[in-house]
Structure 1
Amino acid sequence: MVVADTQTETHSRHLKERVRFYRLTRKFVDEKEVPKEAQQIMYYSLAIGHHLGIVDCLQSEMDCHGEEYLAWIEGLPKDSEAYRKMEGFLKFGEITIFPEHIHMLALAFQKISPTTQSETSQRLTAGLIEILNAIHREPTMYLMIRGTVQ
């Protein structure tokens, strides 16, 4: 079937990548590029919740190979929201985890028995839980998981 072949091809492409977990570390307003006449518009847009002129600074917190990523998320129930969210990386090559995802993901990964996980999967679970806790403490933070070609 064409759909299945396309999905398998997409999955296999991302399985060959290095998976990096980037955490937002800080934001700043880039005022150098904004003409003086437009600064009031930029400040107004920031006040109403738009992010014009905001630069996000991301830092790589952990990484693994695509095959290790797949083995790690295989510990989640296939019909769970957590699996669907994390599988998004294999489909799209990138996912973003926002504060509204942290509770669901933390519960799902904490339910996986460490005895069923490889050393790498245990490291990824511990690292993810640590990042999710940081997002819980600072809700403007987020996590981006994205692939890079090796």
Structure 2
Amino acid sequence: MANLKSIVLDDAKLLNRYYDKRALSSLPQHSGQPFRFGQVQWADDLIEMIDGKPSVKPISATLASLQNVFHSNDAVFTYKNGEIFVRATIPSGTIAEGDSKQFSALGFLDNENELIAVCVTQPVWVYSDRSLVVEATIRTNIA
């Protein structure tokens, strides 16, 4: 009998932590730092095999961390009409010569280094002579 599960090519989710922190940061009695996006994490995570093909796993809204993180760096964030646009880059030379990493998940940390959003895509190999640019859209309006 064939597997009835469909292959999922990509997915993105703002985690519960994002909404909680955004709400708490907006309260008048909030005395901490303003809530901000921080660095992004490059990882090999949230992929399962279905009938021999990679598929994106469901992203839990309570996910606390990504597995197999191999790089962290800054990204460029912009916002327009309920959407956060992200451009993240791994320049060539980031991965050590002779090494390679499989990338499938981009995690978004806040200014307290906690995971607040995740984008997942089909696996891509990254190595010392290869750069990789990921452009993602995070929809903040739930409609």
With normalisation by structure 2, the TM-score equals: 0.28
The answer to which structure, 1 or 2, has the higher relative contact order (CA under 8 A, 6+ apart) is 1
The higher radius of gyration belongs to 1
TM-score (norm 1): 0.27
